[in-house]
Structures are given as C-alpha cells and as structure tokens.
Amino acid sequence: MRGNSVPNKILVISNSTSGLVSFRLELIEALCREYDVTVLSNDSGGLDKLTEAGCRFIPTDFDRHGTNPIKELSLINKYKKCIKQLAPKIVLTYTIKPNVYGGISCASLGVPYIVNVTGLGDSIENKGIISKISLMLYKHGLRKADMVFFQNRTNRDFFVKKGICSGEHDVIPGSGVNLTKHCFEEYPEGDSPIVISVVGRVIKDKGIDEVLAAAERLKGKNVLIRLIGGCGDEYLEKLESAQAKGYIEYVGLQSEIHEWYKKSHAVLHASYHEGMSNVLLEASACGRPVLASNIPGCIEAFDEGVSGFGFEPKSADAIVAAVNRFIDLPHEKKAEMGRMARKKVEAEFDRGIVINKYFSAIKKIEARLSK
C-alpha cells in the first residue's frame, strides 16, 4: 500500500492455496506491493506464506471433481457474492472450475478478469459427454475475458479452433520457475546406482501404471526408480508391492522437493497431458536431465538429445527404451545434459517472464478503465 491511499483491489480465485504458493507466490508478492489482494480458495496448505505476502484470504469449499449441480451452483453463488462484496478492479482465475465459474461470475457482474488455462484437464482430455459439457462451460466462462493466458500453444490452438477463446490471448511459459529457489546443483558424483526420480501425484494420468511396468522390467539394471508424491488408496497397495519386490523406492509426499532433485541423476515424467510441467521446469533448473512424454506441456521444457529424451506416452516399452538410452550415456554426457537443461530454463522459463506478462495485462485493463 502506497501512502495513505487505498490501493485498487485484485481478487485471485484458485482451487488450492498450495498451488498458489508453489507456482504463483512471486506473482502474488509482486501484486501485494501495488494492490490490495484477496485470495479466494480452498485451504490446502501454505496459507501462512500467502498472508505473509500481504494478501487477505477467504476460504471456500472446493471439490475438484464434483458434479453435483446444487454444489456447483453454490460455488458460483459464492464467487458472485465475494466479487460483489469486495468490488475488485480485476479478478485473476486459475484452473478449470475457477476459470469457468469465476469467469461466468465476472461476466455477469461486469468485472474485468484474466484467465489462466493451466491445462485441458481430465474432463476435456478424456472425451465423451463430460468433455462436451466442459467445453460448453468453458466457452461461457471465457466469453468476456480480458485476457486468456495459455501455458502451451497446442492448448491455445485447440481453444481458438473450437471457438472457446475468441478474445485477447497469449501463451506464457507455464508458471515459470523460481531460478533462485531451484538453483543449479552440481551433478551427483558416481552412478551406482543411477537414480531416476518420478515426481508428482501417484495417479493414472501421470503415467504411474506405465512407470511401474517399466520399473519392473528395469530391475537388475544399474538404476533406481524413486517415486516422490502423494498417493491415494487406489495405488498404495501396488506401490507397497513394487517396493517389496525391489524395483521402486517410494518416499511419499515431500514438502521440500529441491533436495530430491539434487540427489537425482534424471527426472522421469510420464504424464498423459499437461499445461506446462512444473516438475520438468524445476528439475531442469536444478541441472537435471529429463525423460518425458512427447506431449504438449512437456516437449517445450526440453531439447531432444540436448537436455532430455522424449518418449511415446502411455507406453511402458517407450519408457524402458528412454531409460536405457539415458543410463548408457557416459557420466560426463549426463552432467552436460543437466547443464544444458539449466541454460534452457534460464533463457525461456524464468518466472519473472510470467510476472511481467501479468502486469502488462493488468496495466492494459487499468488504462482502458481510466478512459
């Protein structure tokens, strides 16, 4: 806040505080230095960091996969009520439901809003009637957006082709990566065994079935497949069995992921779909080569054969081939790939790029409103 004046208000709507802290804290900190910022979200952790940045917080119940019409309508009403009470100059939304319901709310109230499409999500990627309904809702939610940010060109082209996004839009480098927090680390000495880490939620769409099948086939090789991330009941028994048989190491969810990147020789990401993979950006920033699905949201994060290797998604065979290709490299070549990974994210994925894009869009809206 500058002087005794009351700054303009910005409302941030998201599905989780943990996501905001992990990938957008620097943006929120920058916004708080110039605006009165309120976050409307489910409290999933890290709230203290948001309040320390200077923003207010309004909790909201949120079911990412809920389809109950009454609960969904209740969420829209909650958004509308908060927007009316706060009277923000601009609203920023992230992830599918906040984008759609927040967008519908802003459009109905005549409040400018900026949308961030962080990925198409299961509801769209899996086709069928749910996909059609999701696209229809997205079209309604984005129809009056002042700016729509996409995290990769393929998602942007899809939305434009489908007529979902007809207004101003831009492609940003995902959420970017904090190059200080995820600093460059010297490559591990020695390679016995070669540690390849799989970081992320243990769910089907992150390719966990293919990873487990590939890990079993790689048993006996000079490689350790280490899984790092939260796991629901549906996969816990499989992980425990795989670990007991000795072809994976599962260490669960870790709050400080950088140290695990540091102890890895490479990071494997077998996701089916992404907006932009934060895991690949963070691992690359640490100076680690990446092995990743050849899908939008992953392929942009590495240069084939230079900072990583791509492979066909949904294929255990392809994962095995990529891992074998990597472990057969001389140690110095692996280290060189890590150095090239760091150079790439420094040049293309600095989080400051994303922050500048947001401020540019916000200032443009402010200039229009002041006329």
**Secondary structure of the chain in HEC code, one letter for each residue:** CCCCCCCCEEEEECCCHHHHHHHHHHHHHHHHCCCEEEEEECCCCCHHHHHHHCCEEEECCCCCCCCCHHHHHHHHHHHHHHHHHHCCCEEEEECHHHHHHHHHHHHHHCCCEEEEECCCCHHHHCCHHHHHHHHHHHHHHHCCCCEEEECCHHHHHHHHHCCCCCCCEEECCCCCECCCCCCCCCCCCCCCCEEEEEECCECHHHCHHHHHHHHHHHCCCCEEEEEECCECHHHHHHHHHHHHCCCCEECCCCCCCHHHHHCCCEEEECCCCCCCCHHHHHHHHHCCCEEEECCCCCHHHCCECCCEEEECCCCHHHHHHHHHHHHCCCHHHHHHHHHHHHHHHHHHCEHHHHHHHHHHHHHHHHHHHHC
**pLDDT tens, residue by residue, 241-281:** 999 999 999 999 998 899 999 999 999 999 999 999 999 99
Higher model confidence: residue 119 or residue 97? 97
CB proximity list for 183: less than 8 A, separation 6 or greater: 258, 285, 286
pLDDT at 1: 35
* Angstrom distance (rounded) from CA 152 to CA 178: 19
Closest CA to 141 of 186, 96, 172: 96
What pLDDT, on the 0 to 100 scale, is given for residue 192?
87
**What CATH number has the domain spanning 194-348?**
3.40.50.2000
Report the candidate in 282, 275, 316, 326 with the shortest Cα–Cα distance to residue 298. Answer: 275
Do the domains at 9-176+350-370 and 194-348 have one common CATH topology?
yes
What is the per-residue pLDDT across 292-344, written as a single tens digit (0 to 9) for each? 999 999 999 999 999 999 999 999 999 999 999 999 999 999 999 999 999 99
Please give the pLDDT value at position 166.
81
As a whole number, the mean pLDDT across the chain is: 92
Assess whether pLDDT exceeds 70 at residue 68.
no
Are the C-beta atoms of 215 and 248 separated by less than 8 Å?
A: yes
Question: Any idea what the Cα angle at residue 207 is, between residues 203 and 209, rounded to 5°?
Answer: 80
Q: Given pLDDT bands bounded at 50, 70 and 90, which one contains residue 120?
A: confident
Q: Give me the amino acid identity at 30.
A: A
Q: What is the mean pLDDT of the segment spanning 24-42?
A: 96
Phi, psi of 339 (to 5 degrees): -65, -40
Whether the per-residue pLDDT at 4 is higher than 70: the answer is: no
Q: Is the dihedral of CA 211, 258, 249, 322 positive or negative?
A: positive
> Which pLDDT band, with edges at 50, 70 and 90, does 131 fall under?
confident
Q: What is the mean pLDDT of residues 176-200?
A: 95
Mean pLDDT for 99-124 is 89
**% pLDDT > 90, the chain:** 80
Superfamily of domain covering 9-176+350-370? Glycogen Phosphorylase B; (3.40.50.2000)
| pLDDT band at 130; cut points 50, 70, 90 | confident
pLDDT of amino acid 167: 86
Strand partners, 39: 12, 57
- Domain assignments of the chain as residue spans, ordered by start: 9-176+350-370, 194-348
